[in-house]
Structure 1
Amino acid sequence: MTRAAHRPTVRRIYDAAEDGDGTRVLVDRLWPRGVSKADARVDEWPKALTPSTELRRWYHAGEGTYEEFRERYETELAGPDAAEALDGLRGLVRKGPVTLLTAAKEPGRSHAQVLVELLTR
């Protein structure tokens, strides 16, 4: 696999947009509470890349470890719709800076970080 030209950044959607963000991609299934669409400055919202509702609930309930979550999420991303959306995201990353946006309280231990790892392998 060809390495991406840029490494995506992960930021919380509650943080103000910055000039260097490049393409801003929301990677959460649900729109974050309290954030207006105008303030969020989201360019893309590929819902096919988001963890399933079942997986998200399982992980947030504390029923498994981050490593287990990552494995299950990567399995979901192998599905046809998710794989196509992931290829689209790879294309964006090759073109320029990309910021993955999430409402997760710990973005470094979230699905957004899993996406970064997949995009930079």
Structure 2
Amino acid sequence: MQIQLKRIYDPVDQHDGHRVLIDGMWPRGVAKKDAHIDDWYRDIAPSKDLLKWFGHDRDRWEGFYDAYRKELREGDSTLPQTLREHAQKEGLTLLYAAKDEECNNAVVLRDFLKHTR
């Protein structure tokens, strides 16, 4: 299963495979026609309350990681399976807007997809 993470602002690459935006809101400064996304799964994004609590504060990373995994487990079970299928067939790029490339929802979702069935 090939899953890579990329900021929506990064250039498109021929090896991106299926490109999916996983944020709940459209990223600032990106025109939809220029985004080169295959899907936008708003429903797989962390809840607004969780994002507000996290605030991209690295001191809250572990709590965010655990809480978002719980939301993923309790949410729509078809979306993770659909993403896994894309990852296995053509590769998957999870697109996100956060500036922090190490502590963001894409990291949690990638780990969830790889280690949970």
Same fold (TM over 0.5): yes
Q: Note if 1:29 corresponds to 2:24.
A: yes
Q: Which residue of 1 aligns with 2:69?
A: 74
The one-letter amino acid paired with 1:116 is R
Could you tell me how far apart the structure 1 residues matched to 2:56 and 2:107 are? 19
Count of aligned pairs: 115
TM-score (ref. length: structure 2) = 0.90
Q: Which stretch shifts more, 11-20 or 63-72?
A: 63-72
| Contact preservation (8 Å) 1:58, 1:64 | no
The one-letter amino acid paired with 1:40 is A
Q: Which residue of 1 aligns with 2:43?
A: 48
RMSD: 1.6
Q: Which runs of 4+ in 1 moved over 6 A?
A: none
What SS does structure 2 have at the residue aligned with 1:17?
coil
From 80, 88, 94, the equivalent of 2:82 is 88
From 81, 93, 97, the equivalent of 1:99 is 93
The sequence identity of aligned pairs, in percent, is 37
TM-aligned CA distance change 1:28 to 1:59, over 3 Å:
same
Contiguous gaps of at least 5 residues in structure 1: 1-5
Contiguous gaps of at least 5 residues in structure 2: none
Q: Which residue of 1 aligns with 2:14?
A: 19
Residues 39-60 of structure 1 show CA distances to partners (whole Å, capped at 9, x for unaligned) of 1101011112100000011101
TM-aligned CA distance change 1:64 to 1:108, over 3 Å:
closer
Could you tell me how far apart the structure 1 residues matched to 2:79 and 2:5 are? 17
TM-aligned CA distance change 1:86 to 1:35, over 3 Å:
same
TM-score (ref. length: structure 1) = 0.87
What SS does structure 1 have at the residue aligned with 2:40?
coil
| Contact preservation (8 Å) 2:3, 2:93 | yes
Q: Which residue of 1 aligns with 2:54?
A: 59
